[in-house]
Structure 1
Amino acid sequence: FYNGYYPFYPQERSSSFFNMQQVIIILVFLVCAVSFLIILPGIRGKGRLFWFLRIILSLFIGVVIVAVNFTSDWETGSVQTSTSYKSFSNVTVDAEVGLYVGLEGVNITLKGNPVHQINETIDYNEQFSWRYRSNYDDNYYHGLQKGLPNPILYIAEKFTLESPCRVYAQYRLSGHYASAMLWVAFCAWIVSNILFSLPVLAYGGFMMVTTGTFMIFSILSFSTIRNTPLCSIYVGSAALSTQFGPSFWLTLAIGLLCILIGLIVILMDQLIPEKLKMFFMLNEDDGDDVLLEGYGNNSYIEDTS
């Protein structure tokens, strides 16, 4: 039937590729970086280097805060095994099965070793989402209707609402609150950048500490899933276990970096404020001179009158 494919698999499945949301976010921040760096040649002396470091570091923090909301590698795991491929068939394939959990759902991969086996290309990357206004169980049943390979459906079933594992609510709520904390951190990052452009650098430091604190809160929220017993996942004869992934550790690192930057700014504002103002290219004397000049003009007008 169907040119060599089994009845429930009318066509060869193709793998989904990179997340376009992440690409768009990175492109937006790159455009912002280029826009700011265009004016870099107009800055003289050491101020040019200080401006470059501030812009690049700040935009890097911003793009990480936004991008990790849409990544699927907060928790990852993979295993190489020999497993059944399709329903109603005893055919087995050698493949690598991967599980990638994000804040908005899970990605399950199946890649053959080699990729071409049993006259098919075995290279899948299927997403099952629980984001707002998205029903995970509907995504799972849609995968059943498409006829996805057994390993993918088996793992996806562990996260359904009716699964005996009962981890769906924990993962969904942990991801929801982690994402909310990250968006609060993003707002704090915006405010900190505004304050750093004003002669109130200490308050900018406090907001940078706030940014890092909410990022730490986000990973604490996500890490609560470790307190939930997860059903054992066996693909073939191999057990699939997971651990915190790159997005988790990157968020932790950037959160600690924000707290460190904020504390340094606060301490420098107390101990060596002149050096701090030099780094941010702020000079209160300019503002004082403008005020004194204004007062001088007013007195001159009064004398002439």
Structure 2
Amino acid sequence: AALNFTNDWAEARMTTKATYKSFSNAVVNAEIGLHVGLYGINVTLKNPVVQFNETIDYNEMFTWHDTIEEYEEALEKGLPNPILYIAEKFTPSSPCGLIFQYRYSGRYASATLTAFCCWMLANILFSMPVIRYAGYMVVATAAFIFFSMISFTTIMNVPQCVFYIGTDSFETEYSHSFWLALATILCTLIGLLVVLLDFLVPEKMKEAFSVGVDGCEDEDDSYSEGYLNSFFLDGV
């Protein structure tokens, strides 16, 4: 589920000199970062050195559903030019069309929420005498995460929009959340292994997960114990 809400499925960053504010010739040297998530983007502009009597440290969020309103608010607040330039690239009126590409790919990549539900169900089933179905749910978890990755990779199959700031440029690349989703491979192997072992050695699997073993032993013990009537023994 964490993958669904992070803002680093794709990112780009660089350090360059750029004009700071509109209607000004002031130039700043700062690190510019673009972080793309499933629901929007984060644009950062940072430099720990004090320039123009302020510490440059901006972190602005723009969501897919309110991009126009948030971009207009950014214009009204007079945010630095690099942030406005990148945000403008993700507006519906931009010829790059980035918002449509990322919004639709992110919409299907949100299947990570379904994967989280499958994972929770798998944990519940592991505590019950249905180990095989828990394995099925682990495989289903991997399948939905894999589907999310495939959905997000479609954005890389279209012509990329290059961002030019100052004399430098950058393009987005896959980032931490995307590569973390590769844990799908491990998840698939675990699920298949659980299903296979449950077919081959079901009793051993129940013992390994402590499912249905203690109850049976207690039941056998209860049958082995009996009550002896002392009056009956005296009569004998």
**TM-score normalized by structure 1?**
0.69
Contact persistence 1:115–1:123 (CA under 8 A): no
Q: CA deviation at 1:276?
A: 1.9
Matched residue, 1:77: 12
Measured after TM superposition, the shift of residue 290 of structure 1 is: 3.6
1:205–1:265 CA contact under 8 A, matched in 2: yes
Residue 153 of structure 1: aligned partner: 84
Say which SS state the counterpart of residue 69 (structure 1) adopts: helix
* 2:137 counterpart of 1:207: yes
Quick one: which amino acid aligns to residue 77 of structure 2? K
- Cα distance in 1 for partners of 2:34, 2:218 equals 63
| Contact map agreement 1:199 1:284 (CA 8 A) in 2 | no
* 2:141 is aligned with 1:141: no
Q: How far apart are the structure 1 equivalents of 2:49 and 2:155? A: 33
> Could you tell me which residue of structure 1 aligns to residue 200 of structure 2?
271
- Within 2, Cα distance between the matches of 1:262 and 1:69? 22
Partner amino acid for 1:165?
C
Aligned: 1:230 with 2:164: no
Decide whether aligned partners of structure 1 residues 144 and 275 sit closer, same or farther in structure 2, where only a CA change above 3 A counts: same
What is the match of residue 261 of structure 1?
190
Structure 1 gaps, min length 5: 1-65, 298-305
SS at match of 1:122: strand
Verify the 8 A CA contact 2:45 2:58 in the aligned structure 1: yes
Superposition deviation, residue 284 in structure 1: 4.5
Task: Please state how far the C-alpha of 1:271 moved relative to its aligned partner.
Answer: 2.4
Match for 2:67: what amino acid?
Y
Partner of 2:232: none
1:34 maps to none
Q: Number of aligned residue pairs: give it.
A: 225
Deviation, structure 1 residue 289: 6.6
C-alpha displacement of 1:285:
7.2
Structure 2 length-normalised TM: 0.89
Q: Please point out which of 59, 67, 71 is paired with 1:125.
A: 59
Indicate the residue corresponding to 1:86 in structure 2.
21
Cα distance between partner residues in 2 of 1:120 and 1:288 = 72
Q: What percentage of aligned pairs have identical amino acids?
A: 53
Q: Deviations over 1:8-39 (max 9, x none)?
A: xxxxxxxxxxxxxxxxxxxxxxxxxxxxxxxx
